[in-house]
Structure 1
């Protein structure tokens, strides 16, 4: 975390996701090699993700699919409730 803020930084979240992924992979009894083969993600990409938290979105989704957790991403960037009226404003501008 940033020493001047209580908010997490993107790096913090990235590393937390990588650590959770690694624990889940191990709970499922999968080696890095086996998960790489099943997902179609290169072993190097998987290792980089689990150590540095760096991975493409496409590769991340492939990995979590194999682990049975793709649905965890359905709520990511979900619009706030109660803002439908604002969305309608933007939709009406597109039609004009």
Structure 2
């Protein structure tokens, strides 16, 4: 399913959500940086511009207690089948590799 949200809006919303989690736990930027092992400058850049490496983002998620939700959010969606024929047809079409492009 395609999203109507842009990459830039998603970055800003995710960084704002993470900032709100930090504030909700009573942590300063410096405190979160120290606990997570993410540099203070990287954390500030993330909260201001939404830019951060995946490794640092995951460190923040782990420290803020939202790693499980993040993993769940990225799991493939299950199909809702209406018949056994749908199930069998899905197994036949299961991709063996990713698509190019």
Superposition TM-score, scaled by structure 2 size: 0.75
Find runs of 4+ consecutive structure 1 residues off by over 4 angstroms: none
Deviation at 1:7, TM superposition (A): 1.5
> What is the TM-score of this pair, normalised by structure 1?
0.78
Establish whether residue 29 from structure 1 lines up as the match of residue 26 from structure 2: yes
Aligned CA RMSD, in angstroms, stands at 2.1
Structure 1 segments unaligned to the other structure (5+ residues): 1-5, 92-96
Give the number of equivalent residue pairs.
85
Q: Does 1:54 align with 2:54?
A: no
Out of 38, 41, 46, the residue aligned to residue 38 of structure 2 is 41
Unaligned runs of 5+ residues in structure 2 are: 80-86
